[in-house]
Amino acid sequence: MTSLAEKLQRIRHLFLVGRGASLAAVGTGALIVKESDHFHAEGMSSAAFRHGPLEMLSEETFVVVFSGDAKTRELNHRLLTDIQQGGGRAELVGERSALECFRIPDHGTSVRAILEILPIQMTTLALAALVGREPGKFELATKVTTTE
């Protein structure tokens, strides 16, 4: 986790992007980061990221790109390369991730969405360690929403 914490140092913007079934991990992951770390994160489709937030690339922006299903995997890998070549910081969640804690085994599409949330949970631990927070500690709400 130390290498992940090092990669997340000095970021202000965290984006989680993917396609297809990976959108479940993208949306849930952004929510978990906000709840757990009080750190703003945005989950969106890879295509939507290209149409706006791509302009935010900088040393303060970190993008987690979900490799996803075989039929769109090449598009996501191309996005990762474009982010890195454009001056942004990005890492891949998938079988070929450079970061060990972002590497997930290929167990087929039926469990992929479940496995993809694990690297985001590792991200919450790394972000909390960077700012000295207890990850997942609720201060204003509870884990179960009881009022509307």
For 106-140, give the DSSP string: ---HHHHHHHHHHHHHHHHHHHHHHHT--TT--SS
- Written as one letter, the residue type at 84 is Q
Residue indicated by tokens 């945005």:
42
Domains of the chain: 2-131 (3.40.50.10490)
Kindly state the average pLDDT of the residues 76-86.
96
pTM score, whole prediction = 0.90
Q: What is the pLDDT of residues 18-70, one digit of tens each?
A: 999 999 999 999 999 999 999 999 999 999 999 989 999 999 999 999 999 88
Give yes or no for residue 121 having a pLDDT over 90: yes
d(CA 16, CA 35): 15
d(CA 76, CA 43): 14
Give yes or no for residue 103 having a pLDDT over 80: yes
Of the pLDDT bands very low, low, confident and very high (cuts 50, 70, 90), residue 138 is: confident
What stretches of 38-108 show up as alpha helix (H) in DSSP?
46-50, 73-85
Give yes or no for residue 8 having a pLDDT over 80: yes
Q: What is the pLDDT of residue 2?
A: 58
